Structure 1
Amino acid sequence: VAGSAGPTSKSLTLAQDLGDPAFRQVSFDEMEAAYEEQLRGLIEGGADIILLETCFDALNTKAAIYALKALAEADESLRRPVMISATVSDRSGRTLTGQTLEAFYRSVQHADPLSFGLNCSLGAEELAPLARDAASWAECAVSLYPNAGLPNEMGAYDQTPGTMASQLRSIARDGLLNIAGGCCGTTPEQIAAIAEALRDCPCRPRPAKSHRLHVSGLEAVTIDRGRNFTNIAERTNVAGSRKFARLIASQDYAQALAVASSQLESGASVMDVNMDDAMLDSRAEMEKFLRHAANEPAVARAAVMVDSSHWDTVLAGLKNAQGKCIVNSISLKEGERSFIEKAREAGRLGAAVVVMAFDEKGQATDFARKTEICARAYRLLTDRLGFEPCDIILDPGVLAVGTGIPEHSRYAVDFIEAVRWIKANLPGALTSGGISNLSFAFRGNNAVREAMHSVFLYHAIEAGLDMGIVNPAMLRVYDEIEPELLKCVSDVILDTDAGATERLLAKAARIQEEAGTERKTGQGAAEGEADSSPSSGERIRRALVRGGSYTLREDVLRCLAESGKAVDVIEGPLMAGMAAVGERFAEGKMFLPQVVKSARIMREAVDILQPYIEQDARNESEERRKPLVLLATVKGDVHDIGKNIVGIVMGCNGFRVRDMGVMVPAEAILDEAASCCADIIGVSGLITPSLHQMENLCREMSARGMTTPLIVGGATTSALHTAVKLAPLYPHVFYGADASSSAVLASRLLSAREECEREQHDAQEKLRRLYAEAHSGAAGEEAPAAPFPAPTFLRGKFFEDIPARELTVKEVLPYFDWRLFYTSLGVRERQEDAAAQLNADAVGAIDRMAKEGRCRITVSVRFDACRSSGDDIVCDSWRLPMLRQPSGARR
């Protein structure tokens, strides 16, 4: 028996008074007390399961979860599993408070629900896309009990049992549901029809936990190194921004929210909110600001990092944010008891925690203390409190360097090495830091501070840093830092020698002097803009890399005059600039906010050229209609740099391009394709969940009986995935490896479709056959046990009889894997010049080692009893992580 608890008639998130956005009719604590009374009655009345249903506000639901946890902690006999069912306000798929369904799920995932799904609001046909979406990311059972269709004009439900059962079956037969039923308008006849229709449908298998940190505001945010470093906005902090502090003090929340919005537009996806100021009531201001933010979608979409040294202020933040938050921070400064109490309370409210490297002895300043405290906190959280490692964010503490105090010289190095140690020794934990602390000694010299932040992040991210609190506007492109400044900054951060700080101080003084001279002479242009020596094309390329230019229009038009055709400008300097941006981003030398700025410059340049592109098109003799390609980034994915480049290349290849932007649901893509009579549909995705959205899109295209060619592309897509996962769902789907090949493929699909599709299908069939053959040898349940000979020893053994000193380069080279060697250093064999140079250098190095007698080769063999656990190899005393390397990452 499930005891049902509804959403109540109040909302903790929505403002009830338009004149006062911070006013709420009820507080979190009052809501929690009401739920606790109701839930106790349900449990004492005999309920085996608690069902929180028709949930429209995640903050209300979090209050119910808090009450349920409080009951269980006070009396173990009152512990019950919980099922959670949300309801959406319309076909947009968002709750009444504006959250996406996944964002809602991440907000309440700490309840460890038995199931999560949807009920009420709409019929099965309308909720089907949302159920399919939930099945792609929910880490528990998925439920769906819709209304019996939509009410008629008299408010009655007249959908027949057969129709309702058929609509639910169309979802369940794909193995996407675990629990099905009916809500408003449902009768016993409909439930019986549903049970019969679903009798032979496969049950959705429960997926493994993702072990990644998911936080949320109105949107879900996944913090994962495979998806790039996560910027946390720092300007919504009264201690870090005088402007923000002034706005909060004057109660100007509209402008304070504008500060937050600008940080998010610059690339931050999490917002650090801090109200700690001696002249402010930090608890009250935290509550008011977050309540105002909840009603501003541009700000509310981000996840919130609640930052305060006062625990009551932290709790006020957590109790006024509907998404999954991050607490910044807790520490062992007041001992283990206080640490555990605060961590447990944060867990009840569903938050991840940042742990600072403080303990009873004070702040950790060196590598040994940083790792000691972080390890101790990690063990307490995982072993004593059962925290998921991905909900633990360890901050070893970024401290100022370049202060002139010798004891401070290794602060940056020790932080970087502590991050590297944490990633290697505390599995699953994330790392973070307050980046601007690093450059505190250079306050007032933004050029130096920006360079320090970028260089430090370059090395820290390489070591494993997952996120950082940083003003996105105070970052420079690594490769664009002036060489002398780059050298000075790098020497200080890496503590190369005792004179590093003096050299940086001297450089900083010269920069200040130069800035003063520029102001006096009225030269306010950005560095390098006044340089007339580079060509207009080179200046355009630099503008894209830097993300800004005072002379962009002038340079674009001059380049157009030189080349004669707008398309040549796009295919020349603009594409070269975007290629440079892509390379720097892949190498970790540019960060996401800078890439976004580059994309905006690209768009500005194309807008300047647009009239000339249209004029060129009018001047062409070809009169036939240009084919139309419809482009979109799939739902859940905000990356569009690659898609934008595809659009430009398609436009240059004779296509009309209609771009729907990012995070576009499958239904919207196909409705638009039908409306505009698209000849080709192209979708992209950079993250793994995008692949599930592409599968949903293929299913929907088949269901609609479409034959429009679909081209998929993006970092996570591949020819193999397209052949094995997508083509069986929709036969007209093809893989575009990059912008140019996608344009060629699209042209062939229109000019010689039958031949092109036959070639593509043959290639896909070959890939499927090879994939099946590669996996056909996997052991099944009935596979006979293989006879494994027992090893004759279990300890290491060295074979000293191999005469290492007599081996020559000639004897070793036949066994040397040159392809692996090239790949590990980022060189491809087809890059003949680079490969030849690398080969010569390597052979020379090996030859010198052999001649100098510095090369000794031994062989060691060891046997250990072990087993697999996910991607890891586990022995009795140690675990060897075998983490998959993110695409494009190289070390």
Structure 2
Amino acid sequence: MAKRFYPDHPIHNLLKERILILDGAMGTMIQGYKLSEEDYRGERFADHPGELKGNNDLLCLTQPRIIEEIHRAYLEAGADIIETNTFNANGISMQDYQMVPLVYEINLAAARLARAAAEDFTARTPEKPRFVAGAIGPTNRTASLSPDVNRPGYRNVNFDQLREAYYEQVRGLMDGGVDLLLVETVFDTLNCKAALFAIEEYFEQTGRSVPVMVSVTIVDASGRTLSGQTLEAFWISISHANLLSVGLNCALGAKEMRPHVEELSRIAPIYVSAYPNAGLPNEFGGYDQTPEEMAALLEEFARSGFLNIVGSCCGSTPEFTRRIAEAMEGKPPRRLPRVPEYSQFSGLEPLTVRPDSNFINVGERCNVTGSRKFARLIREGKFEEALEVARQQVENGAQILDINMDEGMLDSREAMVTFINLIASEPDIARVPLMLDSSKWSVIEAGLKCTQGKSIVNSISLKAGEEEFKRQARLARRYGAAVIVMAFDEQGQADTAERKVEICTRAYRILTEELDFPPQDIIFDPNIFAVATGIEEHNNYAVEFFEATRQIKATLPKALVSGGVSNVSFAFRGNNP
């Protein structure tokens, strides 16, 4: 994934100078028009089957004047950035209205409406350019959780379906002329990763790109997303993407959101946004907070140095935008912090490897080739019992779980997906990062598509040559994963320290210099090999591993080294739990 920091984009200079104002709620404003079913249908959809009232995105086609009026009201109130009316304009959500074929057209029309309003206001005051952000909502399904409590491994949407739906939405928004893309109200990080994957895919295939923003929703005081991740784990999971900003919106009012915005402003080395609801909903589902009250709370955020972009969400109106803009006058924007570049991984919770960290323990018993008990349970389809193997490892101190389903009698891909989906339903297991272990890339990729955290690919190597190595590394990066790189090239596995270091150095240079792969996301496995075989030429394998590790740590900055300690004693008879 190529770096795109957009230093020449005009929004960068503005973000350095002041806090930018994002608009407010679209839905709240639409409700004020008290539109009927006939208004939603317009002439074009008068005979459409099914109810259309509530399909706010459709109004871009049937009531464009109303949508443009709302955009103009927010611009008049002081918004620097307005969002397109496309929160649900994707192929997943539009299934509810039997309008999937209209996704591209709705997004195109929405972007053009916002673009026209923004250009008009920019022309009036060229010194204050306005920007259009293409709004990309979370869909009404979650890829990380089952909708059926009795079937925890079931999903009603998968990564590829989300990716395809988001791609079509992005295509319409980009063709309509948006300045930015905003993936917002994220409640499931896997959905978000699918959106980011689709965006990067579109950028690569078309050669066109714009800055990307992400905004997550923390559902309650626990500080977690609906799919269970902590805020830091969420950030680690999406940090591979080249983002303009990351922030929070919806679910909480400004008061409740404050500690989470503070945390994000501390850990994210990019711009931070916040657009809270107008307080918490009352017993009727309405919002009672006044524009003045929200503006005062957000002014304190600014004084504390938390904000680069600020706006409002559910329950807000242009008057909220006006008061917020007034409150931000003269307030300096948050300065981007320098964050140490440590190796970081995530399940529901974060795992950071610092220079002073002890060994990181990887549980390897969820491996059909290394555990007779686990292999039997998987072959017999007893996945629930197999989960206990994972749970015991976490309870006993495993900080990462290695999952391997490579067995000739198994459908490895299906077994990997089933097991990972079941892990996701067990928070006490899912809190740790996963290591997806297979000799088949298709199995690893299937695992990446159902893992919301930042996992580790085990493994890639130069065995099949540089092009395949680079292809797999690029994909791992696009999925947001770190990689284990085996000391294995076209000539075979390295068994001497010299060969191990030679291969790892070559791989490191390809990854960091050609692919811009972060060195802290590279983990080298210099091959311990079995040392208890009794064969004389094997006696020095451990020493060769130690020497290779010493040289790798000295010459390949920030990269980690892993060793399969099981290989030291793999040949001992009866040692096959």
TM range (shorter): 0.7 to 0.9
Give the counterpart of 2:359 among 198, 211, 229: 229
User: Does 2:521 match 1:391?
Assistant: yes
Q: Deviations over 1:78-107 (max 9, x none)?
A: x22211000022221111111111111111
Give the counterpart of 1:20 among 133, 140, 151: 151
1:364: Cα distance to partner? Answer: 0.2
User: Does 2:202 match 1:55?
Assistant: no
User: Does 2:272 match 1:142?
Assistant: yes
1:445: Cα distance to partner? Answer: 6.4
Q: Deviations over 1:568-625 (max 9, x none)?
A: xxxxxxxxxxxxxxxxxxxxxxxxxxxxxxxxxxxxxxxxxxxxxxxxxxxxxxxxxx
Give the counterpart of 1:163 among 289, 293, 298: 293
The answer on whether the counterparts of 2:152 and 2:422 sit within 8 Å (CA) in structure 1 is yes
SS of 1:166's equivalent? helix
Give the counterpart of 1:305 among 414, 417, 435: 435
* Alignment correspondent of 1:70: 201
Higher helix share: 1
| Separation (CA, whole Å) in 2 of partners of 1:444 and 1:123 | 59
1:44: Cα distance to partner? Answer: 1.0
User: Does 2:459 match 1:334?
Assistant: no
SS of 2:506's equivalent? helix
* Alignment correspondent of 2:565: 435
Q: Normalization by structure 2: what TM-score?
A: 0.76
* Alignment correspondent of 1:408: 538
Give the counterpart of 2:233 among 63, 82, 103: 103
1:18: Cα distance to partner? Answer: 2.3
Give the counterpart of 1:33 among 164, 180, 183: 164
SS of 1:72's equivalent? helix
Q: Normalization by structure 1: what TM-score?
A: 0.49
| Separation (CA, whole Å) in 2 of partners of 1:27 and 1:188 | 37
Letter in 2 for 1:194: I
Q: Deviations over 1:107-150 (max 9, x none)?
A: 11111211111000010001111111112211211111000111
SS of 1:236's equivalent? strand
* Alignment correspondent of 1:262: 392
The answer on whether the counterparts of 2:279 and 2:288 sit within 8 Å (CA) in structure 1 is yes
The answer on whether the counterparts of 1:173 and 1:198 sit within 8 Å (CA) in structure 2 is no
| Equivalence map 1:679-694=2 (5 Å) | none
The runs of at least 4 aligned residues of structure 1 exceeding 4 Å deviation read none
* Alignment correspondent of 1:425: 555
Q: Deviations over 1:640-662 (max 9, x none)?
A: xxxxxxxxxxxxxxxxxxxxxxx
Give the counterpart of 2:379 among 249, 255, 259: 249
Give the counterpart of 1:129 among 253, 259, 262: 259
Letter in 1 for 2:206: D
The answer on whether the counterparts of 1:174 and 1:202 sit within 8 Å (CA) in structure 2 is no
SS of 1:233's equivalent? strand
| Equivalence map 1:804-883=2 (5 Å) | none
* Alignment correspondent of 1:3: 134
Identity of aligned residues (%): 55
CA RMSD of aligned residues (A): 1.4
Larger Cα-atom Rg: 1
| Equivalence map 1:406-805=2 (5 Å) | 406-444=536-574
Give the counterpart of 2:422 among 266, 280, 292: 292
1:31: Cα distance to partner? Answer: 0.8
The answer on whether the counterparts of 2:416 and 2:446 sit within 8 Å (CA) in structure 1 is yes
1:332: Cα distance to partner? Answer: 0.6
The answer on whether the counterparts of 2:196 and 2:241 sit within 8 Å (CA) in structure 1 is yes
The answer on whether the counterparts of 2:267 and 2:339 sit within 8 Å (CA) in structure 1 is no
The answer on whether the counterparts of 1:5 and 1:51 sit within 8 Å (CA) in structure 2 is yes
SS of 1:176's equivalent? coil
Q: Unaligned stretches of 5+ in structure 1?
A: 447-470, 472-891
1:283: Cα distance to partner? Answer: 0.1
Give the counterpart of 1:322 among 447, 452, 456: 452
User: Does 2:346 match 1:210?
Assistant: no
1:210: Cα distance to partner? Answer: 2.3
1:405: Cα distance to partner? Answer: 2.1
SS of 2:299's equivalent? helix
1:209: Cα distance to partner? Answer: 4.2
* Alignment correspondent of 1:186: 316
SS of 2:480's equivalent? coil
Q: Per chain length, whose mean CA-contact separation is higher, i.e. which structure has more relative contact order (CA < 8 Å, sep 6+)?
A: 2
| Separation (CA, whole Å) in 2 of partners of 1:9 and 1:211 | 35
* Alignment correspondent of 2:498: 368
User: Does 2:472 match 1:346?
Assistant: no
SS of 2:545's equivalent? helix
Q: Unaligned stretches of 5+ in structure 2?
A: 1-131
SS of 1:201's equivalent? coil
Q: How many residue pairs were aligned?
A: 446
1:362: Cα distance to partner? Answer: 0.5
The answer on whether the counterparts of 2:528 and 2:542 sit within 8 Å (CA) in structure 1 is yes
| Separation (CA, whole Å) in 1 of partners of 2:547 and 2:467 | 29
Higher alpha-carbon deviation: 163-172 or 120-129: 163-172
| Separation (CA, whole Å) in 2 of partners of 1:73 and 1:393 | 27
Q: Deviations over 1:708-746 (max 9, x none)?
A: xxxxxxxxxxxxxxxxxxxxxxxxxxxxxxxxxxxxxxx
1:237: Cα distance to partner? Answer: 0.9
